[in-house]
Structure 1
Amino acid sequence: MSDGPDPERLKALEDKLAKLRGKKPVGPRAGGHATHAHAGWRMVTELVTGIVMGFGIGWGLDSLFGTLPILMVLFTMLGFAAGVRVMLGTAREIQGYSQDAEAPGTDDTAPDRTGQEKGNAGGDGS
């Protein structure tokens, strides 16, 4: 029985670890951008959270002051407005990510709204 670790096994383990550390992550999260489904659920969660928080604050204040429906309705609407505001900020953030991912140049051969190619204004086929 040996007293120390086996240097050959340690070297093999170090090689395996180095090989695994060198690999890049694969999949939709490789660039750090969220998928569209994740972004959609994030926005729904932000909206619902705003409404629930507003409802809870309004209900708590109504039960404290004895004005049951007034503050609950007011804070629910304020929570909805806050949720929409946060949701729009998230949409702007996601839109910024998608614009960064696009190529800086434009495609002159893509059809415009009329269905004609932008680069072929003459219409003679050349």
Structure 2
Amino acid sequence: MTEEPDTARLKALEARIAKVKGKPAKAKTENGKAFSQGEMAWRMVIELVTGMLLGLSIGFGLDTVFGTQPLFLVIFALLGFAAGVRTMLRTAQSMSVEHDKLNGGVSPDKDEGNDV
């Protein structure tokens, strides 16, 4: 018995099984390309925290170099927060575009002219 399976024979067997079941044999799809909502939520949280930490560290470093107490720390913390929020919004917008592509542009929470 061989160590490695024969891939050509395995594909032929999969095709025969699919034919018997009545399903067309399909090629392997690109699994792992789509992310779950939980993964996207964590991504957005990490983007916000990363922006804050970068802003805080830059501000603290500048305060240390120039000898000012909290001036640059506060300024860069606010800039880091703004950058994190901007990145989060860009991620949410790209998720929305991807969702619209998959659903044909129809969103379930939008009314289609039904005025109450």
Please say whether Structure 1 and Structure 2 have the same fold, judged by a TM-score greater than 0.5.
yes
Q: Which ranges of structure 2 fall in alignment gaps of 5 or more residues? A: 15-25
Give, in whole Å, the separation in 2 of the partners of 1:111 and 1:19. 52
How many matched pairs? 100
Identity between Structure 1 and Structure 2 (%) = 36
Q: Measure the CA separation in 1 of the matches of 2:47 and 2:105.
A: 32
* Partner Cα distance (1:102, 1:19) in 2: 35
Matches for 1:1-126 after TM superposition, within 5 Å: 9=2, 12-14=5-7, 15-16=9-10, 24-25=28-29, 30=31, 32-103=33-104, 112=114, 114=116
For structure 1, which runs of at least 5 residues remain unmatched after alignment? 1-5, 115-126
Greater gyration radius? 1
Question: Residue 68 of structure 1: CA displacement?
Answer: 1.7
Structure 1 vs Structure 2 CA RMSD:
3.2
Structure 1 residue 103, shift from structure 2 partner = 2.8
One-letter amino acid of the structure 2 residue matched with residue 13 of structure 1? D
